[in-house]
Structure 1
Amino acid sequence: MDQLNILVVGSSNTDMVIKAAHLPSAGETILGGEFFMNPGGKGANQAVAVARLGGKVSFICKTGNDIFGKQSLQLFQDEGIETFLFSDPHNPSGVALITIDDKAENCIVVASGANATLSPDDLKKADGAISKADFVIMQLEIPLETVVYVADRATELSAKVILNPAPACMLPDHLLEKLYLITPNQTEAEMISGIKVENIEQAKIAASIIHQKGVKNVIITLGQEGALIFSEGQYHHVPALKVSAIDTTAAGDVFNGALCVALAEGKNLIASTEFACKAAAIAVTKLGAQSSIPFRNELSLKQPVIS
């Protein structure tokens, strides 16, 4: 079978990361440890994940006319990603400031920059990429009107649209009705459904409500508890691998990229989610966003399991 085409439309950032003993509270200054810069952005992370895990991927994004934008393009080319990069002459490339504590938890502040100006007019210039796609995956670090435009256009062309609704925001029913699959975490699922999600039973209720809004399939990611699938009226819980986490940055992006690769290879939702959970588990054992994204051969290796 020919390899199916995956299109990622989304953000590209440069992450500036500091490791610290704990996350600062309001007004607190703390001395951190290691500092490093790493390419990131939810869209870029997902595109790199697809590429490293063996998918056939194209990526549409927007950066500033600055060193970060030029570096991003070079990195995408090095990863073998067909990139449609629009340049914003007025705004800088996106930047994320990330603090990671000793428990591998993080807090992130994003300056969207050029990501916030990726418009439907830009996407009309890249319509050839949309028309070739079998799967389209998006996130919410670009304007919602652009996400809606791409979902409408991809649906017209019979592509399957996957939305990772992060960062969390309210979504119009018109968009939800266009989705083949949505992959919220617990916070995002609560915002969309109105149901607090603190355990698997609550996740089942939230997933059912989201499905009733028009989404064909729902996968709610549950962190260390894995993921809950709701499809064709059935629930299935996929547990997470138990690993020693170092940094959870980009774990959700790796999950989504891996999920799309497996679906494009013809795996069903359960097998695809198992594949995605394994890829995400590997990612949290490494520091950084794109630096943590595993390659396909790593998924065949036995990972350290803790009780």
Structure 2
Amino acid sequence: MFREKRQEVILGLLDKNESLSVNYLARFFFISKETIRKDLSELAEKGVIQRYHGGARILRRVLLSEISKANQLNIEALLKKINSQKAINQKTARGDKMTGQVCILGSFNMDIVSKVARFPHGGESIMATSNTLCPGGKGANQALAASFADANVHFACKVGDDQFGQLAYEHLSSSNIDSLTLYKSATQPTGSAVIFVSEQNGENMIAIDSGANKTVTEDEVARLEPHLKQAGILLVQLENNIDATINAIMLAKALGVKVILNPAPYSDGILPYLHQVDIVTPNETEASLLSGIQVCDLNSARQAAEVIASHGVNTVLITLGSKGSLLYENNKFSHIPALPALAVDTTGAGDAFNGALSAAIAKGKNIHQAAVYATAFASLAVEREGASNMPSHQSVLQRLSQH
């Protein structure tokens, strides 16, 4: 088989499997591993794949899928698109950012959602009205929200080498998210969560096994640099290992990218680095833990916001559920009221808010305008079942026009 044709087949195999070893490819083609390494090196130089020790993984899957839909895998067409992307990269390297570009490093979990008439008491067994297996994780949910809020999104996460990891790949690569970096752990499973949703009021209780989400390496964070260079916003949470999140924040600041931190679930390891964050978005519980002040109303939220800001963060935006949100910026407070909503499932409300907020800021809205937009987005999200079931940008604009 000629080299060019063999490389086309390699790309096709990687498109289906995401990553493959040199040993596997050598056996597949009945050729030496050295020849395969040369093929992979050439494809890596063209920006099509990424090499790692012992194998390679596909890059820019969205571009590749557009070409391979009709089983016409064409390297020239692919490279034409990639060269066009490189021209954009060269422009951004001179200091220009792509409008509406959000980069998100976060978690992916498979959620096991049980709908119950009410939450069980300690030691009590109750019957669920339904059980559902669906994709989730704060990072994935926020990436989906930002993409539905009309932003261009690059999402990076880490999964296990298991069935849930394959489901993550299929779910994310077929979503509205524009581009994806999916790292894989050889030792930890894909993250998972068990979620109870009360049919009484839509409230939820969640237990999370982070799995591979907690194994993001320094090298994997460093590989996000080209995506951060294009972005106006980096959005992070705390479901990944704290050192990876901090490294991502520091890298973004070095590149002049605005950082939004959703400090959930809370970790006190982030406190020494709040001064590197531009906007922090805790809910009532997280604001209480960050400040040491029990947040239960607007007055206590104001006190907590001032304490959090004293750590050096520029802007504090505390979400207060049905009470809306409180914005503290430049020593001034602003209350954004909640919009009326018929809550069906509040599981993804905070993720919907943060994703939409990031999208609006990336598209040029100021923080107050973005918070109003995010409030409308979240009010629609809670009316849908499933944490990853997000409303459209047009439906948000319609709700805003009604209120």
Q: Same fold (TM over 0.5)?
A: yes
Counterpart in the other structure of 1:294: 391
Separation (CA, whole Å) in 1 of partners of 2:392 and 2:170: 19
Letter of the 1:230 counterpart: Y
Number of the residue aligned with 2:191: 94
1:128 alignment counterpart: 226
Q: Match for 2:312 among 214, 218, 222?
A: 214
- Mapped partners of 1:184, 1:129: distance in 2: 26
Distance 1:242 1:145 in 2: 39
Matched, 1:30 2:129: no
Which secondary structure state, in structure 1, belongs to the residue aligned with residue 268 of structure 2?
A: coil
Q: 1:279 aligns with which of 377, 383, 400?
A: 377
Deviation string, structure 1 residues 135-172 (Cα, Å, up to 9, x no partner) = 10000100111111111111011100100000112144
Matches within 5 A, 1:186-201: 186-201=284-299
Shift of 1:270: 1.1
Alignment match of 1:180 (pick from 248, 265, 278): 278
Q: Corresponding residue for 2:235? A: 137
User: Following TM superposition, by how much is the alpha carbon of 1:130 offset from its aligned partner in structure 2, in angstroms?
Assistant: 2.6
Aligned equivalents of 1:242 and 1:85: distance in 2?
Answer: 37
Deviation at 1:173, TM superposition (A): 4.0
The one-character-per-residue Cα deviations of 1:168-208 (angstroms, maximum 9, x if unpaired) are: 12144431010000000011001111111000011011101
**Residue 170 and residue 2 in structure 1: after superposition, are their counterparts in 2 closer, same or farther (change >3 A)?**
closer
What's the counterpart of residue 50 of structure 1? 146
Q: Distance in 1 between matches of 2:158 and 2:295?
A: 34
- The structural deviation recorded for 1:302 is 4.1
- Per the TM alignment, residue 2 of structure 1 is displaced from its structure 2 partner at its CA by 5.0
For residue 287 of structure 1, report the CA deviation from its aligned partner: 1.0
Amino acid at match of 2:322: Q
**SS of residue in 1 equivalent to 2:172:** helix
Distance in structure 1 (CA, Å) of the matches to 2:98 and 2:286: 35
Shift of residue 229 of structure 1?
A: 0.1
CA distance in 2, matches of 1:220, 1:34: 33
The aligned residue for residue 48 of structure 2 is: none
TM-score normalised by the chain length of structure 2: 0.73
How far apart in 2 are the matches of 1:283 and 1:154?
Answer: 29
Q: In the TM superposition, what are the counterparts of 1:56-71 in structure 2 within 5 Å?
A: 56-71=152-167
Q: Deviations over 1:212-251 (max 9, x none)?
A: 1110000000000000000011100000011110110110
Deviation of residue 95 (structure 1)? 0.8
- Report matched runs for 1:206-245 at 5 Å: 206-245=304-343
Q: Distance in 1 between matches of 2:228 and 2:359?
A: 17
Identity, in percent, stands at: 36
Question: Within 2, Cα distance between the matches of 1:64 and 1:2?
Answer: 32
Give 2:198's aligned amino acid.
Answer: D
1:53-98 deviations in whole A, cap 9, x for unaligned?
A: 1101101100011221112122222224211110111111111111
Question: Structure 1 265/285 Cα, relative in aligned 2: closer, same or farther at 3 Å?
Answer: same
CA RMSD after TM alignment: 1.5
Of structures 1 and 2, the one with the larger relative CO (CA 8 A, separation 6+) is: 1
Q: In structure 2, what residue type is equivalent to 1:290?
A: S
Deviates further, 77-86 or 43-52: 77-86
Contact 2:376 2:399 in 1 (8 A): no
Cα distance in structure 2, aligned partners of 1:112 and 1:227: 28
TM-score by length of 1: 0.95
CA contact (8 A) 1:171 1:192 kept: no
**8 Å contact kept, 1:130–1:154:** yes
Spell out, residue by residue over 1:85-130, the C-alpha distance to the aligned partner (whole angstroms, 9 max, x if none): 1011111111111111121111111111111111222212332223
Q: Quote the Cα distance in structure 2 between the aligned partners of 1:100 and 1:173.
A: 31
The answer (yes or no) to whether the contact 2:149–2:360 under 8 Å persists in 1 is: no
In 1, distance between residues paired with 2:283 and 2:142? 16
Which structure: larger Rg?
A: 2
CA contact (8 A) 1:227 1:237 kept: yes
CA deviations on 1:283-307 (whole Å, 9 max, x unpaired) are 111111112x11112213349x9xx
Aligned position for 2:213 = 115
1:2–1:126 distance in 2 versus 1, CA, 3 Å: closer
Offset at residue 210 of structure 1 (A): 0.7
Q: Report SS of the residue matched to 1:301.
A: helix
Which letter maps to 2:396? L
**Aligned counterpart, 1:72:** 168
Q: State the number of aligned residues.
A: 303
Distance 1:87 1:73 in 2: 10
